[in-house]
Structure 1
Amino acid sequence: MLSYRHGFHAGNYADVLKHAILLQTIELIQKKDKPFVYIDTHAGAGGYCLDDEFAQKTAEFKDGIGRLWGRQDLPASLVHYLECVAHFNEGNGGAAEALAWYPGSPALVDMQLRDKDRMVLHELHGTDHQLLAEYFEGERQTKVVRGDGLKGLLAAVPPLERRGLVLIDPSYEIKSDYRDVAEAIIKAQRKFATGVYLLWYPVVNRAQTESMLSLLKESGIRRQLRIEQAIKPDSDEFGMTAAGLWVINPPWQLDEIATEMLQSLSALLGQPGGQVTVKWEVGE
């Protein structure tokens, strides 16, 4: 597990979907004036240089954020996402119109926080934890924890604010990750039923992914929404064919926003045979 480095994949099509939906979820949560906490179980390094060896080795960002960059015909949800990426580039000494840096989830959320909100970030990888801690050094609203994020999640809920957004974004390098993630979410939801949970998932082996999601569907938890983009048909060949977000207790209108967003992403990022899905898997 500790070998995984997100820098290889920063800004790919899965990141585009994950981060654009994350930003919209926060925007909807913040329509209420009350404070909330953001909990990230696998926070990564905070931000990534797209010119370094990790990003250039795979160049996955070219078929992700690269295909959206500079476009003027996108829905408001994706415009906001691109504005945040541009702001991150400016913050790292680049020009807003350049694409040299890509923000991780913590950096994107940090741009949205009000004075009353806070973050709890977990990262187990030693190097990434150090980079993350340096990025947020001195930030009173942010707590950076080195450790197992799933265990950290159970310790962090229920939060004092009684309002929270949890992002679970593991590497899935180990097969047991799929079951461990589902079980941790079920336990956390029992402690903090009003929280919003965003589970990012890849589709490399469809049966393996659906087995994890079935555990959640059959858990008795209500209001579970699937938001998924398959850039090409499922295959037995190596590689990710789709990625999605499984959202428990999504804020009102997120499904509508996601539907509009995915229509644009399908045209820009998809390949022949790809499809998008926004579906309530468990209702009220």
Structure 2
Amino acid sequence: MNYRHIFHAGNPADVMKHAVLALILDHLRAKPAPFCVLDTHAGIGRYDLTSEPARKTAESDDGIGRLWGRPAPHPGLAPYLDAVQALNPDGALRWYPGSPRIARAALRPQDRMVLVELHPDDARSLKSEFADDRAVSVHQSDAYTALKAHLPPKEKRGLVLIDPPFEQPDEFARMAEGLALAHRRWSTGIFALWYPIKERAAVWRFQDAVEKTGIPKVLIAELTWHPEDTHLRLNGSGLLIVNPPWKLDETLRAMLPALHDALPSTGGGASVSWLTPEAS
């Protein structure tokens, strides 16, 4: 539990992940019925991009820093950029919203959010961030234990975000097993699993493990900004999405290339494909 996201907040991987998250939430808002968001690796909620740890790496400069104060390169990025703007109303980019703040911006009075964070210091910060917010509950717990404890939600609609720090060498395997368990408990929910693209073989093994579960309707969205000729750096960011909203694939096929063009890169690109189609 040594990972601290403040060093990476707002980087290209965050931008891609949170832009897609905001789109999914926007789709959920389109129907009046309530929904629930379960975030299994919630972090601290918001990050100060002017802090010493953030400036030490300056990763946000090549991420949200390339979009801030400029016209959105694609309309699909609007929900995400609106959430960032809401934390920085004076026009200066200081605060970056983690996934809990992205999701909280999308909640309506009838919706709720369950946040899970294992790191004790981060869990305390998260509880402070959402103190007295009746729409949000915070739990210090293991992510995969939380899938058993909080699914299925009473709302019957919603999203589970699984976004590990990838400190453990078996994280891909744990994600695949966790998804299989969670899907058995709530087969109609939307699941979004984030993963880093460093070593392509590891990603293939993960996707193969998910495919072998027999879970239908699985979409893969990836954005890479370096050639995949080394596993020593973060070459890109991926999301495996189960039960994606209608036409999300079409939106991402247009939005992700535009996002790639807006961010600095030495190669790579965007791809959207179906790992498993909808069951017939």
Structure-2-length-normalised TM-score = 0.96
Q: CA deviation at 1:79?
A: 2.7
Aligned length: 278
1:141-199: CA deviation from partner (whole Å, max 9, x where unpaired): 11100010111012111111111200000011111111011101111001100000000
Segments ≥4 residues shifted beyond 6 Å: none
Counterpart of 2:175? 181
What is the aligned partner in structure 2 of residue 60 from structure 1? 59
Aligned pairs for 1:234-245 (under 5 A) are 234-245=228-239
Mapped partners of 1:3, 1:171: distance in 2:
9
Moved more, 268-277 or 20-29: 268-277
Unaligned runs of 5+ in 2: none
The 5-angstrom pairing of residues 210-249 of structure 1 reads 210-249=204-243
User: What do the CA deviations read for 1:94-116 (whole angstroms, capped 9, x no partner)?
Assistant: x1x21111011101111110111
The answer as to whether partners of 1:36 and 1:161 remain within 8 angstroms in 2 is yes
Task: Give the match for residue 3 of structure 1.
Answer: 2
Match of 1:204 in 2: 198
Specify the alignment match of 1:89 in structure 2.
Answer: 88
- Does the 8 Å contact 1:13/1:269 carry over to 2? yes
Counterparts of 1:192 and 1:52 in 2: how far apart (Å)?
A: 40
RMSD: 1.1
Any idea what the Cα deviations from partners look like across 1:4-33, whole Å, max 9, x if unmatched?
011110000011111111111011112111
Question: CA contact under 8 A between 1:230 and 1:270: conserved in structure 2?
Answer: no
Query: In the aligned structure 2, how far is the partner of 1:248 from the partner of 1:32?
Result: 19
Check if 1:40 corresponds to 2:39.
Answer: yes
Q: How big is the shift at 1:3?
A: 0.3
1:250 equivalent to 2:244? Answer yes
Residue deviations 1:44-84 (CA, integer Å, cap 9, x gap): 00000001122111110000001111112522221332221
The answer for the alignment partner of 2:268 in structure 1 is 274
Is 1:74 the equivalent of 2:73? yes
Separation in 2, partners of 1:54, 1:241: 22
Partner Cα distance (1:270, 1:196) in 2: 31
Q: Partners of 1:205 and 1:75 in 2: how far apart?
A: 29
Letter of the aligned partner of 1:36 in structure 2? F
Give the Cα separation in 2 of the matches to 1:80 and 1:145. Answer: 27
The CA deviation string for residues 219-261 of structure 1, in whole angstroms up to 9 with x for no partner, is: 1000000110010111225111011111000010111111121
Aligned equivalent of 1:23: 22
TM-score w.r.t. structure 1 length? 0.95
| Unaligned 5+ runs, structure 1 | none
